[in-house]
Structures are given as structure tokens and as C-alpha cells.
Chain A
């Protein structure tokens, strides 16, 4: 039997006996792995939630335009003049800027009363164009549809509901095909939007809004200007590339200075995505640093524990050397012990983090905070790296004092208190 095998045999035979405190080492590595894995799992969940929410508003190079008022005198007109968007503005944009893919307008009515049976609530109702479905990801659940051209032409009283709104009105009951009252006027529910998570929004989350054809909206609420325009830009063009031309087109129609930034406010979601990308990278760097520090603390604790373990065993090592154990036996036993204990600790840590992550995923809490927290996702490769790092630290922390002890004169080791 080689000295390495002798050392490993001793380790195996006496693991957990005497002063070795294996539970403490297992717990130290397990805790380090657990902390690291949970941190990374929640970080990954947050990152995914960010990416998903961002996707809900920026999937097609979306730009939202709001009208403001002039801040400069222009062509004999005083500053402070309100700018309003009309259908002609929308058509002008569509005609003069070929990079614009689709353009739509929105008109909104806040706190509109909606009623179905005994349920009565208030919500925001938007008048929109059919292409809004694609531009703003108003995708209907199976069994329903979005507003179409016929609805527009015939000014049908049809309504498309956000899922949260549907639940508030109908609970679990089927809504499509039902008639609800909008400010006392009956509307047929034609579809329910699929669930979507928004990290960026204006006028509240889409899941809590109702949409009707903009022509029906005009008939019901009056033919007023649009509240805002939304358009998408054809790739490879970017919204920033055509922003000046959009401003000039609208300025020519509405007679304001194209350099007067107060007249039209742009929300370029591509720019927002770039910013949020940077936030995600920052978040990852932050989590990496916190994770690294956690690992460092766990490693130092583990190293200290193993150092004490070997130190307390010095006399025993001296006795073994006196009766013929070679230095390799001493090192093999300690390294083997570090490997086994750190390995078990790592396994326990990964198993516990898996349990916790699974538990969190199954929690019935559906509030927004939990939604923004996202779905924690375990990264097994990172877990394995964590365990390997801790095992490596464990091996070093065990091997160095064991090597020192194995080089001691057996007499000195035997005298060790």
C-alpha cells in the first residue's frame, strides 16, 4: 500500500472521530456555496426579469412621441403655444419618412367607469389603431383577437382588455364575448391580452388598460387631438437616425422651430435599452464582487478551520511518524479529508440552494415586487466553480499545515500541546 493510499485509508477510517470536527468544515463550505449560489440565482432572475420587461416595450425599435408647447417665439407666434397631434401629422410622418415602419396614435381617457354585472371599476381606456397590436405587443390570448380594420371602419363598440383588468371585472370567469358597460355604453369584449411584464411604461402598465378602436373613441369622447404617437423604425435604421427628420416634419406642419425641444418629447426606447443593458452589466459586476467577497470570507473561514484542525492533530501526527508514517501519509490524510469534507459541503450547499430556489419559484405570491425579482435560476456551472474554489482553498489550507507538521521532528510533534 503506497503512502498516499495509507493516508487516504486513515482519513476514511477515522473521518468524524476525535478532534476533526468534520461537521463544522462541511457547514462552512456548505454555507459558502449556498450564499454564493443563492446570490447568483437571484441575480440571474433579476437579470432575466429586466430583459423580459424591457422586451415588452422595445421589441421593435419603438419610439413614443408626446406633444408639448413652444418655448421660443417662431414666425411671429409667441412662445407657450400648445402643440397638438392630429391625423394629418401621423399621415405626414408615414409619407415623408420611409424608415418608419408603422405609426399609430393613442388617445386616452383616465378613470373611465367599466361595469359587468355587479362589478364596477374605473380604468384607463385607450383609443388605438389596429397596428398597435404589433407596435405595443398587445397580443391576444387564444380565443380572442385585437381590434381590426373593420372595427375601425364601422366604429364598432368592441373592447380589448388587459389581463389584470379582466380579472378585476370578471374574476376567473370567461370574458370574451361578454358585454361590459363603458361609461354606460355596452361594449363587446373581443380579446384579453397575454400577461406581460414591463420595466418601462407610460400611463400605467398595459395589463391594467382597456383598448377600443380610435374611431369609436372619437365618437364617444369627441374628436380631440391625439395624446401621443407611437412608431417603429425599420432595421437597420435606428430611432436616433430619424429623430431630426421627424421633428422637422412635425415642425413644418405645426409651425414651430425644429430646434425647440419643448414642442415634441421623444421616448427612444432603444436608448433606454442601451441604458438598461449598462445597468444589467453593472448589476452583474456588483453581484460578481459580492459573490467574490462571499467566497473569500467562506474560504478564509474554511482555511482557518482546517488550519486549527491540523494544528490540534500535531501530537497525533508526531505519534504516527514515530511508528513509521512517512510525511506523505500525513499530507495525504489531510488533503483527502479536506477534499471529502469540502466536497460534501459543496454538495449540501448546492442541494440546499436548489431547494430554496425551487421553493421561491413555487411561492404563490404574485405581487409586483416578486415579479420584478424575477425567477431565481440556479447556475450549476457557477456552483461547481464555487465548490471547486472552496475545495482548492480547503486542500491548500489543509496541505500547508500538514506539510509543515510532517516536516517537524517527530519529537517536537509529540511534545506539542
Chain B
């Protein structure tokens, strides 16, 4: 009997149906599961990572801004719904804490036109967060003084403590995964590597406790990876997260990751140069770990105190307890929150007292990106998207109300492109304007219109029409190169974070890479270079992406010190693609320094299958498409 001719059930009023049961006779869906993507107004693309694309959207129901993270199913043919995403969703649904990102819900997009893809596209919906810590740290206008560092660190520790109390190991603690909103609240995000651990919750005064079972060793982005993991430990504890917290803590003072090893070996060397050699006393477990052979003959001198004297004695004391080689003795999150550091002057700010930062430039970078994603293929005038100076005009012409925010007198809103400035700190003129922290596109229309004049400089501090920007750091030759473009864009009211500017110089489009300074091409080149000396990378195509992501931070900063080289001949498409991927947006994060799951070494189980070659090529295809669209 044929399937499409079922006998109508006698007691049913409904007619026999060919494709029976997905819709009722009136054409409405019969089954209501999770929310449809149509409950959200997608405002534009925020970024792309290896893990997925992220969009900014507004909820119809609540009017609130959210971030939609698309779950990429690179390998759905074989593995179905990615187990990492399942874990992340499951864990996020278990958690409720101020300092942990909240999963609002899941939404599904059904592609009507494509019957062949009945599974639809799934999105994770989280609150929209304006900044991430890595992004803030790169903004030299934000002053990370003691009270602010303490404020963020305390929140980070509170969040970590909560996670550990909930029996969750985060396993990817790093600045890029810490999202910060405009109220100064820090939230831990990206649970793609997190898992539930079996051991008892760490007790006060007892460090991380002792591990009972083995976990996968390949976790945590290298720069934040604790020594025991580098030495090959698989029986690890919550202490691994605290090492990452320590790295972030020091990073807030140094404004850059403190331990930027370019290989696992180098990472170990850097750690031991900072913290001293692993001895029986300082790290009893070291001698029994497989990696110990390689380093036992090296000599190290501890430099932690001298390198980080700036944070004061209490700070150094906390840092040295967080960056303790011995995971058993390493301070746990609970004890760390009680540390003297938070009780000596200057006291930590309360989140509400944190200076408000203007709309982050990542956001504006994303904004441009949004246009790119959302624009129709061939806008009138045809100027959109040409990667030269003329192409900047469309932003100015098309959306004047979006970008010109200044000059409105008392309620002047800073230009969207203005870097974030602490209120009343470095830009007194902007102080009065911080009432309205909404990004440009969320302002009431009348306000936008009333301000539709060319952007004007903030009075006072800035003699030219340039928005404030920090001087280029010594040695950063690329930035100087892009200065003009950057300035121009600022002047036009476009967005332009300094690091975006740097990206521009290299990628010769004006679309800023809000994801970070030229990481794409650097990383890519790096990868190729690595590939040649490390055949492993070639062999393991499916791991390559992840591998590369994990190494991304390292690559970028290593490369930063090199002078600009002739990369212009590099395949543009590839650059674009990588740049796009760079923007990996960890739930609500604008930074993309590490995409969600980005810095991820292969997690256990089935993940390695997730990013097959096919997925990569598909992504490339799409990006090339984007680009073409844009260059028309």
C-alpha cells in the first residue's frame, strides 16, 4: 500500500493528507516546539566563528536585544546535532547566576524553500553584551585601574565559584570568553568545552581538591592552559579554571595575555620562567607526568614578583596563589573571593559604579559588517562594497542618522565610532552623554534625526576632528600604515577602533575586522608555515580549524611584532574568509579573538568530526559569495 494514500480515519473530520501531519488543515503548524526565529528581528550579523555565526537581534516580545548564535552543523550527516552544542545548552540551562551568561531560549529557522533540509537551523539566544574583556583590554582609552580590575576579577571569581559549586568545569577560561555589558557586569560565556565533573566541590582552604577520574587533556586555550595540563595531566580539577583566572587577572594589568607561548613546549617554558621551576616542592605532581621529561633539565628563574609588581603586594600575593604550579595548592574560587586583595584600598568598584563605556567599537565594526551581510546585492549607485575610498560614502549617505551622533549640545551622543571612554575619565566632554548607552541603532528615531549633522569632535581634549585614539604602540608598524584610513573613517562617522584600523591596512577593504587586528591573514599564513614544518596539521584536516583557532592568539601577537610583509598578493578570498571567521563571536561577544569553541583543542568524543573539510569549504564558499556580493 502506498504511503501517500492513507485511508481517512473514520472518526476524523480531517481530509486525507499527502504530507500529512506537519500542518493542520488550515495550514498552520500543528506542533509547537521551540521558538521560531521569526520571533526576533534580526538586526544584522555580528560575526562568524568556526563554531557558528552570530547575529544581533531584537525580540518582538520583550524588545530586548539579544545575540543569536547559529549552531553550525558541519558534520550533521554523521554526528547529528553536535554533542558540544548539546552539552553547552544543557549546562547553560542548568545555570542561573549574574556572572554567567544566560541562555534565553533556542530558536529554529525553517527554510521553506528548501524541503531537502528539514532539520532547519538552530540558534542559541543569549542576552546581548556590549563588550568582551579582550576587546576592552585592547581599547587603550579604557583605564584599567585597581578598582576596575578588582571589580571585574571579583565578578569573574564569583562566577567561577558558582560554576564550580554547580559541578561544572569551564575549561576555556580566557579574556575573550568574558563578556561585559554596559552596566559593568561581567559574565562568563562559551561553555562549548565545559563539562560536569565528578569530584566534590572544592572546599574553602583546600584548593581544588584531588581528581578522581580522568578527563580529556586537550582543553583550554594554550595561553591560559595550566602547567599540569601542558605536562599531560588528565586527572585535573577545578584548579585548571583558576589558572585561567590568574592569567586574565594579570592580563588586565598588562593589557595583553601574559603567557603567549607559541607551542605547548614554549608555553611551558614561559610558565616556568614566570613561576619558577617545577620542583618536588613547588609541583609534586610534575615528576610523574609524561611531559616532565622534556623540561627536567632546563633551568628557570622565577620572575613573577618582579614582572607584576604593579598590582601591589596584595595583588601579587593573589596572583601568585592563582598561578601556583601545584594544582592541589592553587587557591580555589571561594578562597580567592575572600582574598585580602579585595579588601585593601582601593576597594573594588561595584558593577553599577563602573564607568560607562561608549558603544564599543567592536559593535560598530559589527555594524558595518551587518550592512555587508544584510545589504541587497546591488544597491543603487553601485558603490557599496567596493574596497576603496569611494565605498566609504555609502555609509555616510545611506545611513546618516546612524553615525552622526555628536554636536547635539547637551544630549550629544558620542559618535558611534568613538572609542569607549570611561565616563568623566579621559573624555570629560563625553561625560554628559553617557545617559544613553544604547547603540546607535537602538536610539529613538527622533533622537537620531535631531542629530543628523556631521559628526563633530568632542570639545576640549581633542583639537582636531579626530575621535580620541591611543598612540600606536611602538613596533606596530602596521597601524601607522592605516592611520589615514582610520582617521577618515572616524571623521565620516564610521566606526573605527584602532585595531580594526590595523586590520584594514592589511585586508584592503574598509570593513573593519571587529574581530581583531588582522588575525586572519596572520593566522592563515602562520598556519601554512606551521603546516610545512609540522605535517601533522596537514594530516588532520578536520582538526586544522580548531588547531588554528587555538593558536590564533599566539599567532596574532607573535606576528604583531613582525613588520608588515608582502601579503597583498595573498588570495583575497581567503583573507576575507579568515577575517570573517576571526569574528567568532562568543555568545554576545564582539571580540572574536577566539570564537566560541575557537580556541578549542579537540574535545573528547565526537567533536573532531564536527569540523570536517566539507564544512570548511562550505564556509569558504559562503564568504566568497559575500565578498562578491559586496564588490559588485
- Do A and B share a complex? no
- Interface of A with B (CB < 8 Å)? none
- Listed in ascending order, the chain B residues whose CB lies under 8 Å from chain A are none
